Amino acid sequence: MQEKSYEKRKMEYEQRIEAKTPVELLTYHGHIVSESDLKMIKELKEIGLNNGVLNVLLEHVLLVSHNRILHPLVIELAKYWLSQNIITVEYATKEQRKYIKWLKNNY
């Protein structure tokens, strides 16, 4: 029963994250979107990130940087994820969970 609940929550998260634009996601998290944020989002889309993966990436950076968007971190992680062929929300959330687990074990 618990496994089904996890799968349902996972599916709902993926649907919710894919339905928002990056600007909507940032606004939802209380971030005031600047022109430089818009430029960064445009550049990341141009190099191949879709909205869902970009949203997972942005949420990840907000989480690890105390609700700030650090452009150099976003860009480096985006390049890394693309080099690792992380192009779906499912793979992006797995990568995010891996990093969070690593943080918990090392800090």
pLDDT confidence of residue 34: 96
pLDDT confidence of residue 1: 53
pLDDT confidence of residue 37: 97
**Low-confidence residues of the chain, pLDDT below 50?**
none
Terminal CA-CA length for the chain: 33
pLDDT confidence of residue 10: 86
pLDDT confidence of residue 2: 59
pLDDT confidence of residue 100: 84
Q: Read off the tokens for 21.
A: 């634009």
pLDDT confidence of residue 32: 93
- Domain locations in the chain? 2-106
What's the pTM? 0.89
Nearest to 61 by CA among 100, 20, 106: 100
